[in-house]
Amino acid sequence: MFPKTRLRRLRGRRLQPLIRETELHTTDLIAPIFIDETIEHPVFISAMPGQSRIPLQEIQSTIQRLYEAGIRAVILFGIPIKKDATASSAYDDNGVIQQAVRSIRSTGSDMVVITDVCACEYTDHGHCGIITESGEYPDLDNDRSLDLMSSIAVSHAKAGADIVAPSCMLDGQVQAIREALDEHGYTSIPILSYSSKFASALYGPFREAADSGYTCGDRTTYQIDPANGREAFRESAFDLKEGADILMVKPAGLYLDILKDIRSLGVPVAAYQVSGEYAMIKAAAEQGWLDEQQVALESLTCIKRAGADLIITYFAEDVCRWLNEKR
């Protein structure tokens, strides 16, 4: 005897759009941009097909293109001419990100500009702050690095950033940055904290893109062990208490359980579909093993379904085109 209740009744092709629970929109997406102060023409990123570093002089045209595609927010990463042990270029008023933000603002664009607040692209050792040589391995000097992050965040706000996004996973970084921003009069600048950032093996292509590979040690003493879900929740809860306005889970696709948990804290949540996630889909598609468009859209829809309000993804511009084609 057939059951009276049948789930398949609602799976008819014409009915599917009516009851779809999760819908991906272009306004969910944040596009990463790599701005390289050392180049005059775009440089292809071999580990991330379809992505390039761009020179400063192309930031305005890039922002215009992305805005016309439907993207309303970008996050900026800079590659400076000068690197040193204290990341002095990161908070220079004439640094690559500061120049890029001012250039965008000068156009009157409505694009939301988010800046990555970290030091790994600016240090000659590739770590995310100031390091100390004490102990068995080089490690971050937490409190000295807090002062550095505060200086970077203030310089970005001064240049015109809409949101600052600290990503180095220092204890107390959100509170330090919030206090510094408020002290300098930037009380309305939100903080998007990389609050649950894991020591993932999926960041490799990014290190080529941002020229941020480290020369010694690793980042496991300040990023979260991928095995630790409760620790990740505590990190986000602490950052929220310190003044974070938006929390982030990074990477996204393998950490949807974390994303769902962080959602329960009741504030907007971002997820970062990182370079390795992007590169894997691209590589499989190039081999003909997967349909790039279908897999990319499925992965992003699932990230949103798990609780993300915002998604940083290298597929952002492609997704805008695909979604517009479906209309």
State pTM to two decimals. 0.93
Spatial distance between the Cα atoms of 29 and 322, rounded to a whole number of angstroms: 13
Model pLDDT, residue 299: 98
Model pLDDT, residue 217: 56
- pLDDT tens, the chain, 327 aa long: 566 677 888 888 888 888 889 999 999 999 999 999 999 999 999 999 999 999 999 999 999 999 999 999 999 999 999 888 888 889 999 999 999 999 999 999 999 999 999 888 888 776 777 777 664 556 778 888 899 999 999 999 999 999 999 988 888 999 999 999 999 999 999 999 999 999 999 988 877 776 656 655 566 677 899 999 999 999 999 999 999 999 999 999 999 999 999 999 999 999 999 999 999 999 999 999 999 999 999 999 999 999 999 999 999 999 999 998 876
Model pLDDT, residue 138: 60
Q: Is 250 one of the catalytic residues?
A: yes
One-letter amino acid at 98 equals Q
Model pLDDT, residue 10: 85
3-state secondary structure 239-276: HHHHCCCEEEEECCHHHHHHHHHHHCCCCCEEEEECHH
Length of the chain: 327
Model pLDDT, residue 229: 97
Q: Is 241 one of the catalytic residues?
A: no
Q: Work out the burial of residue 324: count CB atoms within 10 Å of its CB; fewer than 13 is exposed, 13-18 middle, 19 or more buried.
A: exposed
Q: Are strands 43-44 and 52-55 parallel, antiparallel or unpaired?
A: antiparallel
User: Interior CA angle at 167 toward 161 and 173, to 5°?
Assistant: 90
Model pLDDT, residue 218: 64
Q: Which residue has the tokens 């003493």?
A: 221
> What are the residue ranges spanned by the domains of the chain?
24-326
Fold of 24-326: TIM Barrel (3.20.20)
Q: Catalytic residue among 4, 82, 197, 241, which?
A: 197
Spatial distance between the Cα atoms of 259 and 248, rounded to a whole number of angstroms: 8
Q: Catalytic residue among 83, 241, 250, 304, which?
A: 250
